[in-house]
Structure 1
Amino acid sequence: CRSNMASEESPPGEEQVKRSNRRQQKTTGEVEDRTWAGHGALQAGRPQDALRCFKQALQAAAQLQDSRVVRACSFNLGAAYVEAGQPRRGLDLLRRNRPGPKAERLPDLQFNTALAHNALGKYQEAAAHFLRAAQLYRSQGDGGSEGDACMELGRCCSRTQDWPQAVQSFLRAAESYKMASMLDSAAAALKEAGSHMVQSDLSNHDDISSVLTECLSLSSSVSDPSILGELYLSVGVAYCRIRCFQEAVSCLQRAVEPAAHAKVLHNLGAALNGAGDFSSALELHRLAARLYGSQGCRGDQARCFSNLAIASSHLGDDQEAAESFILALQGFRDTGDRLAEVQVCERLAECYLRQKKLQKAIELYKQALSALSHCKEDEGVQDRLVERLTAALQLSLTEHHPSSFRCLM
C-alpha cells in the first residue's frame, strides 16, 4: 500500500502554518514522528505496528485542528488497515477522507482504493482504480510506481481471466520499470507476461519467444538467488509449452543452482524428455519424485513417476517403465485425477503388450475405459481404447486357440 507522510503531497509539518504555541509544536512533532514510524513499519512488512503508529498520529493530529493533516493521517490509517487484512474498514476510511474532486488526481489514493477492492474480491472496481493510478503515476513521471500499479492490474485481470489485458498490463509494467532503471522488476514483469501469453493461447510463437528472450536478457540484474531461480523456472516452463525444449533445458538447468527444489527438477526432467535426452532425465525424475513424496504432494509425485516411466520405456527398460507406471497410477487414483489415470493405464497396457503379458494389458485397457467414463473427453479416446482392447483380446484368443488346420503332405 501507499502511505502519505502528512498531507496528500508532503511530509508532516513542511507546509503547515507555523505555530507559536509550544504545545502545538510538540503535537506537530509527534504527528511527524508517528507517521514516519508507521511508514517504516509498512515498508518492513509490519502492518500491525503501522496501525498502532498511524492511530497515534491521527489522535495527535486531531488536536491541531488542521483538516489537511487529519485527512492525511486518516488516509494513512486506511491504507494500513488494507495492508493488515481489514480492507472493508480501510476502504471506509479512504472514502470518508477523500479531499473532494482532488481525489481523482491523487495516485496513491487510487492505488490504495484499488487494493481494498481487490482484497474484497471486487476485481472490476479494483482494475479501474489500478489503471487510473498507473495513468496518474505516469503523468508525474514516477515509472516505478506506475510499474507497481500495472503489475497489480495484471494480477487483477488474471483473476478474472482477462488474459489479453493481463498480458498488456505486465508488458506495460516492464516498460515502466525499465524507464525507472528498475531492471530486476522489469525482468519479473516480463516473466509474468510470458507465462500469461502461454496460458492465454492467444499469442503466436514468435511473440512469446521474444518476450522470454528479453526477460532472460535482464536476468543478470536480479541479485536475489531465489527470485532468479523462480524466473528461470517460469521461463523454462513457458519454453516447454511452446515446445522449445533446448531453450527450456538451458533455463531449467540454471534454475537448479539457485533454487534446487522439486518443481525445478520436475520441469527440467520433463523438458529433457521433450528434447529426447532420456538418459539425462532419469535421475531428475527419480529425485523429483522423492522430494514430492517427502512433501506429501501425491499428484506431482505421480507425474514424475509417469515421466520416469516414459523415459525408461524409450531407453528400452520396460521393467522399470512398468513399475514406474504402476506407482504413477496409484498416485493419480489417490488424488482422483481420472484423465491422468486413463493415460497411464493406456501406456502401462502398451508396456505389458511389449512384455507379452496380454491378460494384464487387457485388464489395463478395461480400467482405462472405466476411468474414462468419469471424464469429459472426446469420443476419439474411447474409440482408440476400444480398438486396442479388441486387438489385445483377438491376440489373446489366437494364442489360446491356435488353428487346427493341417497341411496335406
Structure 2
Amino acid sequence: MSDSKVLGQSKEQNTAQSKILSLCKDGSELLNQDDINGALKTFKKAFILSCNIPEGKLQKACLFNLGAAYICVGKPKKALKCLVKSRINGMEERDGDLYFNIGAAYDEMKEYGKAVRFYERAINEYGYEELKSIADALIKLGYCFVMIGDLSSAAHSFRLAGHSYMKNEKPEDAAMAMREAAKYMIDSQAFSQAEVLQTLNSCVESLKTISDEHLLGTLYNHVGLHYAELKYFSQAEKCFTASLNLCNGKQFSIRKMAVLLQNLGAVDNALCQYEKSLRSHAEAADMYGSLGDRSPQGQCLSNLAFAYSQLKNYDLAEFYYQQAHQAFVDAVVCVDR
C-alpha cells in the first residue's frame, strides 16, 4: 500500500470525525433549545457516519446521544438498545450519565424496580462536583419509589435532593424537593414530627430567596397545608397569608384565591381567631359561588356558620348553616344529573 493511499484514508477519517463532532455539538444545542426532533435527526446522522470509521469510542458517544434523544421523544425501548450497546466496552468518563439515562428509559417503560437500580448506580458514579446531576437523579429515584409504594425511601430521596440543590445554590429546586420530602414523610408515617418539621422549616428557608411569585405562592400554600396537617396552625397561617399576598395579581385564578382564603379561614378557626376568619370564609364562599362550585362553597359557608356560633351570634350561625345545607343539596343534585 502506498503512502499516498494511507494518507488519503487518514484524511477522510479526520474529515468524518470532524463532521461527527460537529453534528454532536449541533444536536446538543438543539436539545438545549427544546428542539427534540431536530436533535434526534442530527444525532442519527452522526451515528450513521460513525459506523464508517474505526474509532469505536466516537461511535459509543453517538449511541449515547441517540439514546438520550430517544428518551426525550418517548421511545424508551429504542433508547435502551442504544444505551446498552454504548455500554458494551465501557464509557468510563460518562458512566454516571449513562446509568441515569438507562434508569430514565426503564422509568418511561414503567419498570420502576429496574429504574431504581440504575438511578442508584448513577448517584454512586457521580462525583461531588456533579451535585446537580446527583440531585436530579435523586428526584427521579424518589418518584420511582413512590410508584412502587416505598414512601419512606421516596421521602429520603427527596430530602437528600433538597440538600444537594441547596449546596448547588438552586433554591427553587431545593424548595420543591423539600416540599415533596415533607409530603411523603407525612404519608409514610415513618418519621417523627420533629423530622417533618425540620424539613418544612428548611423548605421555608429556601423560599426566602425565590423570586418567581407564582411558584412561591404555590409552595407557600402547599407548605401551609403540611403545617396544618401537623396541627402547627400558627406556621400554617403565616404560609397561607404569604401565599395570599403573592396571589393577588391578575395571573392568579379566582379558584386559586378561593382555595387560599378557605385554607386561611380554616386555620384561623383552629386558632380560635373567629373574628379574623369571618372575612376569609365569606370571600371564599362568594368566589366559589361565582364559579358555580357549590360543594366547596358549602364548606366555606359551614365554616362561616361555625365561626359565628363561637362568637355567640346564633342567628347568623343558623342562617349560614342553612345556606351551607342548601349548597350541599345543590351539589348532589348537579352530580346526579
TM-score bin (small chain): 0.7 to 0.9
Q: Indicate yes or no: 2:242 matched with 1:254.
A: yes
Distance 2:257 2:18 in 1: 52
Q: C-alpha separation between the residues in 2 aligned to 1:163 and 1:41?
A: 37
Name the counterpart of 1:125: 114
Match of 1:303 among 280, 290, 296: 296
Cα 1:227–1:314 shift into 2, 3 Å: closer
- Counterpart position of 1:328: 328
TM-score with structure 1 length normalisation? 0.69
Give, in whole Å, the separation in 1 of the partners of 2:57 and 2:289. 60
Q: Is 1:234 paired with 2:222?
A: yes
Cα deviation 1:368-408 (Å, max 9, x = unaligned): xxxxxxxxxxxxxxxxxxxxxxxxxxxxxxxxxxxxxxxxx
Say which SS state the counterpart of residue 141 (structure 1) adopts.
helix
Q: 1:117 offset after TM fit, Å?
A: 0.8
SS of the residue aligned with 1:195? helix
Contact 1:144 1:177 (C-alpha < 8 Å) held by counterparts? yes
Distance 1:58 1:200, change over 3 A: same
User: 1:69: Cα distance to partner?
Assistant: 0.9
Higher helix share: 2
**Partner Cα separation in structure 2 for residue 243 and residue 25 of structure 1:** 68
Q: Secondary structure at the match of 1:202?
A: coil
Is the alpha carbon distance of 1:326 and 1:37 closer, same or farther for their aligned partners in structure 2, counting shifts above 3 Å? Answer: farther
Mapped partners of 1:57, 1:101: distance in 2: 20
Asked whether the 8 Å contact 1:163–1:197 carries over to 2, the reply is yes
Deviation at 1:65, TM superposition (A): 2.8
What percent identity do the matched residue pairs reach?
A: 23
Match of 2:61 in 1: 72
- Once the two structures are superposed, what CA deviation does each residue of 1:89-140 show, in whole Å capped at 9, x if it has no partner? 2112212221336679811111011111111111111111111111111x45
User: 1:194 is matched with which residue?
Assistant: 182
Q: Distance in 2 between matches of 1:221 and 1:151?
A: 21
Task: Name structure 2 gaps, 5 residues minimum.
Answer: 1-6, 309-315
Residue 84 of structure 1 and its aligned partner are, at CA, apart by 0.9
Residue 204 of structure 2 aligns with which residue?
Answer: 216
How far does residue 201 in structure 1 lie from its aligned partner after superposition?
A: 2.9
Using the TM superposition, give the Cα deviation of residue 150 of structure 1 relative to its aligned residue in structure 2, in angstroms: 0.6
Distance in 2, matches of 1:19 and 1:134, equals: 45
**AA aligned opposite 1:254:** A
Alignment of 1:352-363 (within 5 A): none
Larger of the two Rg values belongs to structure: 1
Distance across 2 between alignment mates of 1:257 and 1:291: 21
Residue 197 (structure 1) shift = 1.6
In the TM superposition, 1:240-389 aligns within 5 A as: 240-259=228-247, 260-261=252-253, 262-263=255-256, 265-276=258-269, 277=274, 278-286=277-285, 288-290=287-289, 293=292, 302-315=295-308, 316-331=316-331, 334=334
The offset of 1:181, in angstroms, is: 2.8
Report the Cα distance in structure 1 between the residues aligned to 2:94 and 2:176, rounded to whole angstroms.
28
Higher mean Cα deviation, 212-221 or 261-270? 261-270
**Would the aligned equivalents of 1:164 and 1:200 in 2 still touch at CA under 8 Å?**
yes
Q: State the Cα deviation string for residues 59-92 of structure 1 (Å, max 9, x = none).
A: 2222333111111111111111111111122112
Q: Does 1:183 align with 2:171?
A: yes
Check conservation: 1:19, 1:25, Cα contact below 8 A. no
Per the normalisation by structure 2, the TM-score is: 0.82
Pair 1:283–1:32, CA change in 2 (3 A): farther
User: How many corresponding residue pairs?
Assistant: 312
Q: 5 Å matches for 1:140-151?
A: 140-151=128-139
In structure 2, relative to structure 1, the CA distance for the partners of 1:217 and 1:49 (3 Å cut) is same
- Aligned-partner Cα distance in 1 for 2:116–2:102: 10
Sort the Cα spacing of 1:333 and 1:19 in 2 relative to 1 into closer, same or farther, 3 A: farther
Identify the residue that residue 313 of structure 2 maps to in structure 1.
Answer: none
| Partner SS for 1:223 | coil
